[in-house]
Amino acid sequence: MPHHLKNKLDEIFEPLYTTKQQGTGLGLASVKSIINAHSGTISVTTPPTIFTISLPKILKNGLKK
3-class DSSP state of 49: coil
**Contact indicator for 35, 42 with CB cutoff of 8 Å:** yes
Q: What is the pLDDT of residues 7-18, one digit of tens each?
A: 678 788 999 988
- Residues near 40 by beta carbon (within 8 Å), at least 6 away in sequence: 53, 54, 55, 56
Residue spans per domain, the chain: 3-54
Largest interatomic CA distance in the chain: 47
The pTM score is 0.74
- Residues near 4 by beta carbon (within 8 Å), at least 6 away in sequence: none
Q: What is the reported pLDDT for 5?
A: 64
Q: What is the pLDDT of residues 5-60, one digit of tens each?
A: 666 787 889 999 888 889 898 999 999 999 999 999 999 988 788 999 999 988 77
> Taking 70 as the threshold, does the pLDDT of residue 1 lie above it?
no
